[in-house]
Structure 1
Amino acid sequence: MSNELLFLLATLAIVFYIWQRRAFSFWQSRGVKFIRPVTLLGCTREFLTGRVPFFEQIQKFHETPGCEKEPFVGVYLAYRPALVIRDLELIKTVMVKKFQYFNNRVLRTDPHHDALGHNNLFFARSPTWKELRNKISPVFTSGKIKQMYPHMVKIGKNLEDSADRLGSGSNVQIKDLCARFTTDLIATIAFGLEANALQLPKSEFYHHNKAIFAVSLSRAIDFAIIFMLPALASLARVKLFSKDTTKFIRSSINFVLAERERTGIKRNDLIDILLAWRKEAAANPEKNHQTNDLDYLVAQAAVFQTAGFETSSSTMTLTLYELALQEELQDRLRQEIADFFGEEDHVSYERIQEMPYLSQVVNETLRMYPIVGYAERECSQPAEGEKFTLSPHSNMELPHGMSVYVSTLAIQRDPQYWPEPEKFDPDRFAPENRHNINMDAYMPFGVGPRNCIGMRLGLLQSKLGLVHLLRKHRVHTCDQTPKTIEWAPGSPVVASKDDIVLRLEKVSG
């Protein structure tokens, strides 16, 4: 090796060493307790080597030994400093009281090559997100959901029929059954389409919904950049949806929009809202309307589809898993279902909302298994005027663009707030025990103005699915049922590494 090459390598090594020393001195120089990083990987070695999903990495930061009394802890996501907030009052300050400094998410996709990812409500940045949320929120009012409900009940009955066809005593991959139910539900209430996932083993809608959350090396790399290194999103050209899924969603929504315009049918669903946007843009051509862009409309439908599919199906799956482990709780819920509906064929909207134990069961599932697992925001400091500081814990001004994380999974399993946190106990949420709960420590749908817009619909989907499945069926553990839940390392949301297989039994009452 020549002397020139040796000199070059030595120089690069020195430059890298100095750069890393400076990068990794951020928290120490500001007097903030921090987790010690390692070369290149920062504090995220377990996530970047595929051992744990991102939400679990954030949980591990929150639970770092020695940080139990810290209101926040500094970390390094690879080379990038970030803050994990542990104190509930400070979380409320960031997410609610001082929201004007934290109205953007950290997550990003490529704005140039991923129209469906970049333009939807979840990823939209200020001020676009607020306008977009105001436009979409009418879909999620209780009045609109009630109008959609007859379509939902039809899918609930299809779920019962599908469970019957599987046969009593069958061992069933319960996530597959629940995800087919939510696929059909979202397809009908959002788009007015019949996905037929419960009837057809190879439903195209179901195939593409699954593909979005499928764990593979390329998708894991995309999600790592979206979650952790968003500044590289454009350079790496990361996409929220694969090429095939993007093509499928685009063609489906384009078809439905054209059919609705042709027939004039109204279903009080998302498509009606998108068509109204398009008409508004046509009536005011002098304005530069994003709604003239088909991909902008499709992006809203796409996030509705994917979020509604995964969150509700996972909640149902994990509820059934816990009820199979504690059958006395399942008996109690099945008795409530019988008390409320008896032999009635129709599960009414009003009655399902009044079921106290069903609400307790679902609330407890979401405590133990908050589907996203964490919340995040990006600090936006103004060019002039008052800056955000970490008061009263520190007078440090957070730098503009700093990422802030909250581990909902860690907080909702913290014995400080939840006695015996690893125990599935719906009675925590019983009316007589509500006074024992610090509701600031319960945030399964996020916190503040950018919380989950579909919370009400998601809860109803999960409850409806559970009622229809448990009316005439029971679930039991079997030899293939996992003893404990381990997280799927490459999953962007809370999901079991192993298939949750339960034995389905048909019962008469």
Structure 2
Amino acid sequence: MFTETILLIATLALVLFVWQKRTNNFWDRVGVKHVPTKFIVGNAREFLTGKVPFYEQIYKLHTAPGFEKEPFIGVNMLHRPGLIIRDLELIKTVMIKKFNCFTNRVIQADPHVDVLGANNLFFARNPSWRELRTKITPVFTSGKIKQMYPLLVEVGKELESYLDRLPKEAELRVKELAGRFTTDLIATSAMGVKANSLKDVNSEFFLNNRNFFKFTWGRVFDSFFIFLIPSLAPIVRARVFPKEVTKFFQRIVGHVMEEREKSGVHRNDLIDILLAMQKEALADPDQKNKAKDVNFLVAQAAGFQTGGYETSASTMTFTLFELANNLEIQNRLHQEIQEYYGEGKSISYEQLHEMPYLSKVINETLRKYPIAGLAERECTQPSEGERFNLKPYNNFELPNGMPVYVSSLGIHRDPQYWPEPEKYDPERFDPSNRHNINMDAYMPFGIGPHNCIGMRLGLLQAKLGIIHMLRNHRVTPSPSTIKRIEFNPLSVVLTSKDEILLNIERI
């Protein structure tokens, strides 16, 4: 028995060694320069040991010494070869010109385990993704956002009222306040409800949004499978949406849809579009249509609530951190805010889009801190016609299922595109400097058909938050303010590892 056990262990070890050797030699066989791998973990050691988030792992590989001039880099994420693309033209080819070969994201969720994660627009796979995107896009047109604008301004005024209730000088938990503000904005604009996060410290909307992005080690375990071995995610029951967050959105969104249908009120918002999708699906009982399932509809609302919360809140947080440490920039922005307010009580939708320095400040924040950190796609070669390969650099034809990564963080901090990339300098985006910028190297909301559908609204939220924060206040570092931002290894998007505390003073 002992001998048989030893032989079994030895056989398994040999199989593992041969399998790992073959995986590690993959890029040598196809002639692609690659980062040296570690046994079993490949190139994902820091992510797997909880030292860095996944997007930072890709960033570190993107910036690996010796690859500065390479158009792409071969990597092995555990057992799976993947490609990091560095060349801007090749990035455009993958994300735009050859989008038909890269229509799906790598990450997946299982609909039997995680009904909201698997069914929302971000995780949806073609052809469901294309149909969903087409139907939901009208919510985020400039015309629709302009209609929402007065409601958003009211939330901005509530933010000012919150700040006015503070002592003349106070220390502020920046991310929490920004998160409460964006929670209220998304709730009113997408679903027509008041979340009251700025007024109620125990707001259900805010607490569930925050819990969605609160990563325990259990959720890190889930992320490991979702990002690196999505085929096994259903087996280990990995979830994007925690159970308690799922139950909250099922209850709230279901109630809002029911009340909207009873009242007959039309707001041309996301809820109206979801009701129209449901009505269309139910009109043909013989046709298979996911919109017949209320969980499919709830998934869309939950995706936009959580996604809109984090992206805009983090953009506001990073902006205020940089402004506190660059008072000259903050003073100039404050002056512009005062000029546009004039004697009025608010800034119009048109005026907000005319504020040149505010736009430069937000653009520079998103340059230095692209919230997603990376874009990823899964190769799906067509059964007929021209297949995708790496020409003119290499004849290698990517196999079906191979993940392709683009480090937006790496591109945004590359000195060949952005001199002194660690410096916070809004003047990079001044029109007089436009000839020095390659805008292909700027991708804060992704690139191509899979870019962020809510980017207009996200920008508007961040801008509104900043002008209402700084209209009558100034932020400065406090004794507790961190000197340098390190990224949270337990987060899937760019967030600070340490809480950002700033002094806020009424002026």
Tell me the TM-score normalised to structure 2 length: 0.99
Show the counterpart of 1:402: 402
Partner of 1:164: 164
5 Å matches for 1:216-231? 216-231=216-231
User: For residues 482-501 of structure 1, what are the structure 2 equivalents within 5 Å?
Assistant: 482-501=482-501
8 A contact 1:477–1:502 mirrored in 2:
yes
Distance 1:71 1:61 in 2: 13
Matching residue's letter, 1:304: F
Specify the SS of the correspondent of 1:376: strand
- Secondary structure of the structure 1 residue equivalent to 2:482: coil
Asked if the contact 1:148–1:268 (Cα under 8 Å) also holds between the matched residues in 2, the reply is no
Structure 2: which amino acid aligns with 1:360?
A: K
Q: Is the 8 A contact 2:62 2:86 kept in 1?
A: yes
Give secondary structure in 1 for the equivalent of 2:234: helix
Instruction: Report the Cα offset of residue 268 of structure 1.
Output: 2.1
Structure 1 segments, 4+ long, off by >4 Å, are: none
Name the residue aligned to 1:210.
210
Question: What is the match of residue 234 of structure 2?
Answer: 234
The one-letter amino acid paired with 2:348 is S
Q: Which runs of 5+ in 1 are unaligned?
A: none
Say whether residues 1:291 and 2:303 are aligned partners: no
The CA distance in 2 between the partners of 1:178 and 1:475, in whole Å, is 14
Greater mean deviation of Cα atoms: 64-73 or 282-291: 282-291
Per-residue CA shift, 1:361-382, capped at 9, x if unaligned? 0000000000000011110012
Contact 1:47 1:57 in 2 (8 A): yes
Cα deviation, 1:86-137, whole Å, max 9, x if unaligned, reads 1111101101111111111111011321111111111111111111100000
Structure 1, residues 263-317: CA drift from partner, whole Å, max 9, x if none?
1112221111111112222333343222111001001101110110000000001
**Structure 1 residue 165: Cα displacement:** 1.7
**Shift, 1:230, TM fit:** 1.2
Indicate whether 1:198 and 2:198 are aligned: yes
* Distance (Å, rounded) in 2 between the aligned partners of 1:103 and 1:317: 32
Q: CA deviation at 1:224?
A: 1.9
Moved more, 23-32 or 439-448: 23-32
Kept in 1, the 8 Å contact 2:140–2:454? The answer is yes
Distance 2:149 2:282 in 1: 31
Hey, what's the Cα distance between the residues in 2 that align with 1:168 and 1:74? Answer: 55
Whole-angstrom distance in 2 between the partners of 1:460 and 1:405: 28
For residues 40 and 240 of structure 2, the distance between their equivalents in structure 1, rounded to whole angstroms, comes to 25
Letter of the 1:47 counterpart:
F
Secondary structure of 1:476's counterpart equals strand
Matching of residues 72-91 of structure 1 within 5 Å: 72-91=72-91
1:330-356 Cα distance to aligned partner (Å, 9 max, x none): 000010001111231122111101100
Deviation at 1:449, TM superposition (A): 0.6
Are the equivalent residues in 1 in contact too, given 2:23–2:76 (CA < 8 A)? no
Aligned to 1:326: 326
Q: Provide the secondary structure at the position in 1 that maps to 2:280.
A: helix
How far 1:39 sits from its partner (Å)?
Answer: 1.5
User: Which residue number corresponds to residue 97 of structure 1?
Assistant: 97
Greater displacement, 324-333 / 36-45? 36-45
**Unmatched tracts of structure 2, length 5 or more:** none
Match of 1:183 in 2: 183
Aligned to 1:256: 256
Structure 1 CA distance for aligned equivalents of residues 3 and 236 of structure 2: 35
Paired residue total:
507
Q: Is the 8 A contact 1:316 1:462 kept in 2?
A: yes
Any residues of structure 2 matched to 1:7-46 within 5 Å, and which?
A: 7-46=7-46
Matched AA of 2:379: C
Which one-letter code corresponds to 2:59 in the other structure?
Q
Is the partner of 1:428 in helix, strand or coil?
A: helix
Shift in alpha-carbon separation, 1:279–1:5, aligned structure 2, 3 A: closer
The whole-number CA distance in structure 2 between the counterparts of 1:257 and 1:172 is: 36
Matching of residues 404-443 of structure 1 within 5 Å = 404-443=404-443
Residue identity opposite 1:439 in structure 2: M
Per the alignment, residue 466 of structure 1 pairs with 466
Q: Distance in 1 between matches of 2:343 and 2:178?
A: 23
Q: Deviations over 1:225-275 (max 9, x none)?
A: 212221111111111111110000000001000100111112221111111
- Percent sequence identity over aligned pairs: 59
Name the residue aligned to 1:343. 343
Deviates more, 1:379-388 or 1:168-177: 379-388
- In the alignment, the residues of structure 1 paired with residue 268 and residue 151 of structure 2 have an alpha-carbon distance, to the nearest angstrom, of 11
8 A Cα contact 1:147 1:268, kept in partner: no
Superposition deviation, residue 503 in structure 1:
0.3
Matches of 1:52 and 1:378, distance apart in 2: 23
Letter of the aligned partner of 1:9 in structure 2? I
**In structure 2, C-alpha distance between the alignment counterparts of 1:282 and 1:7, rounded to whole Å:** 60
Distance in 2 separating the partners of 1:249 and 1:200: 19
What amino acid is the match of 1:170?
A
Question: 1:120 — aligned with what?
Answer: 120
The one-letter code matched in structure 2 to 1:18 is V
Worse-superposed segment, 134-143 or 226-235: 226-235
Corresponding letter in the other structure for 1:245: V
Report the 3-state secondary structure (helix = DSSP H, G, I; strand = E; otherwise coil) of the residue aligned with 1:82: strand
- Shift in Å, 1:36: 1.3
